[in-house]
Structure formats: structure tokens, C-alpha cells
Amino acid sequence: MDASGLESFQIGLILTLSLVTTLASYVFLVVFPVPRNVTLSALMEVTIGLLLMFSRNIYGFVTIAVLMGVSNSFFSSVIIIQKDFVRKDYSVMMTLTSIFSIVGVGSFYLSSVVGVNKLLALMTSALILNVVVSSRLKYKEPRESMRDLFNSMKTVGKTLFSVSFFSVLRKVLTGSYIPLILLSSFPDYSPQEISLYLALSRIPLISFLYFGHRTNNKAFLVLSVVELLLFLALSSFYKFSLYLFLALILLINAGGYLRAPVTEETVVKMMNFSTKLSAFFNLIDMMFSSLASTLFAFLIELDLYYVIFLLTGFSSFLSSLMIYRIMTRESKS
């Protein structure tokens, strides 16, 4: 979007639109089951790829934001395929996701060599393959009533609500806003260069995700404290150097990746692999994410980057403390 001439504030609002659309889609999924959600999501991703090839303007990006929001919500039903997962399976799944994410971010650098359209054509071809794979998945989508949802809410609703509330700032920052903050803070670097540096800085994280299933309760708590200290350092030194910024983000993500498989397993098990409960709490998560994204967009417009890092650091620490308490309780029982 930056390379296509959009301003930072416009980019922030479009990112927020995607989150709002995801939120609205989760409302639909809570009430109505949609068969073969994963396949529909894959088809929408192909459409997004085609739009990126032929309509890179503000109207095209708005359309893409809407499609991306719907696609993200539909894909959340993948939770029903994870019933037989053990902790190491979460590490493997998240490691593969990270690898493809790095390839996606880093590939943008190639657009300066081969051109954007050729790069997008290659990626869209890969998305078509994803449609084929998704359509061949064999799984049974359970029928769940609203009564089932209410019964589940009575047992785990308050805990999941609190975890979602405090974890959302970190998710929005690392998932969407780090590239935008880098572009705003270091204008001497092109979007392609920043894309390359981001990809390179994330490569070492793959091993942290893979070995995350070995993280025990004590290590989880220590990593959470260290992450808070790193966010405090980032709030003070984020403009000192691009490489220092990337190094601090690398360390923050390393700790987060070591905790990620444990956190994923804990939350998914609390949901009891219920697609309706998953959709409901993803809905809550998107509501918080939309608010957080809007807040970040205005803070960036006011150049209050250090406030973003301070808020994110403390909220992420509180979320980790809640997960730690759940893990400790489960290990005792």
C-alpha cells in the first residue's frame, strides 16, 4: 500500500476495515454454520491475489480488506482439524506457518527485480494450489446449538475474555503495524528494503517456534518478564537505529515464539475444539483488535510510537500471567 502511494493514516484505516469485516463475519458464523469454511477462505485468497495484480489503488485495497476480513474468519474453523494434536503438533504447524509468512514478506523485495505483477502471479498460483488442497481435506463439521455455546461460556468465558483483552495489542502490533512504524520512523529506507530486513530478522525465529513445545511453566514466566523489559527498551530506543529496532523486535518475537505453542494448546483446549465457541471468541478478539488498530493509527499520526510499545508491553505481560495461572492449575490437577 505504501509503494502504491497511500498515506500512513489511510493504510492504518484500511487495516482497521479488515479487522471490522472479520468481526462482522464472526457474528455470522456464531449464528449460522457455513459448510467447508476452509475451502471458501482459500477461494477468497485467490480473488485477493487477482485484485492485487490489477487494482492497486485505494478502492482495490478497500475491497481486498473486506475480502481478507471474511476469509480470515472463515479460516478459523480449521480448529476442528486439531482434535488429535499434541503440543509438538502445534509447534510444527506454527513453524510451517512462520516459514511461509517469512517467504511472503521477503518476496516483496523481489518486486524491485522482477516486477510486482510477476511476483503476484507466482503467489496467486500458489494460492490456487491451496484451494485444491483445502477442497480435499476430510473432516466433519459438528452441529452446535446456541445452548451449547452458552453452556461453554459459563465455564471458560470469563477467562478467555480476559486473555483476549490483554493479548490483542501485541497481536495487532506484531501482525500489522511493525512494517508501518518502520516506514514512518526510517524514511531513508525503501519499502522493499524494509521488507527484506523484516524477512531476514524473522528467519532465526523458526527454530524458537519448533522447540516451543518444550517450554515449561517456569520458563514461560521468565520469558514473559524478559519480554516486558524488551518492550520498555524499545519504547526508549526505537528511533536510535533500524538495526537496533529489528534486533529488539527479534528478541521480543523469540520469547513470544517460545511461548506460542504452549499458549495455543492451552487456549484451544479451553475451547474444547468448538467451532461456534471459537467463532464467538474470535469475534470478541476482533472487536478488541479493531479498537486497538484504530488507536494505533491515531498514535502513529501523532508520532507517539513509544506509547504504543509501553501499552503493548504491559498488556502482553498481563495476558501471559493469565496463561501461566491456567497452566499451573492444570499441572497440579
Grid coordinates 506457518 are at which residue? 97
Specify whether the CB–CB gap between 72 and 22 falls below 8 A: yes
Specify whether the CB–CB gap between 95 and 210 falls below 8 A: yes
pLDDT at 333: 63
Specify whether the CB–CB gap between 175 and 18 falls below 8 A: no
Grid coordinates 538495526 are at which residue? 243
- Tell me the C-alpha to C-alpha distance, in Å, between residue 138 and each of 38, 78, 133, 141: 11, 12, 10, 10
Find the length of the chain. Answer: 333
Tell me how far apart the alpha carbons of residues 301 and 222 are, in angstroms, rounded to a whole number. Answer: 34
Phi-psi region of 189 (alpha: psi -120 to 50; beta: other; left: phi over 0): beta
- How many CA atoms are closer than 13 Å to the CA of 137, on its beta-carbon side? 21
Helices 305-332 and 178-185 sit at what angle, rounded to 10 degrees?
150
- Tell me the C-alpha to C-alpha distance, in Å, between residue 14 and each of 60, 69, 189: 11, 11, 23
pLDDT at 212: 80
Specify whether the CB–CB gap between 264 and 145 falls below 8 A: no
Sequence-separated (6 or more) residues with CB below 8 Å from residue 149:
30, 274, 276, 277, 280
Grid coordinates 495455543 are at which residue? 264
Sequence-separated (6 or more) residues with CB below 8 Å from residue 84:
none
Per-position pLDDT tens, the chain of length 333: 877 788 877 887 888 888 788 888 888 877 777 777 888 888 999 999 889 888 888 888 999 999 988 888 888 777 777 777 887 888 888 888 878 877 777 777 777 778 788 888 888 888 888 888 888 877 776 677 777 777 777 777 788 888 888 888 888 888 778 888 888 888 888 877 877 787 787 777 777 877 888 888 889 999 999 999 999 999 888 888 888 888 898 899 888 888 888 888 888 888 877 777 888 888 888 778 878 888 888 888 888 888 999 999 999 999 999 999 888 887 766
Cα 81 to chain centroid distance, Å, stands at: 19
pLDDT at 302: 84
299, 301, 306, 307: CA torsion to nearest 10? -10
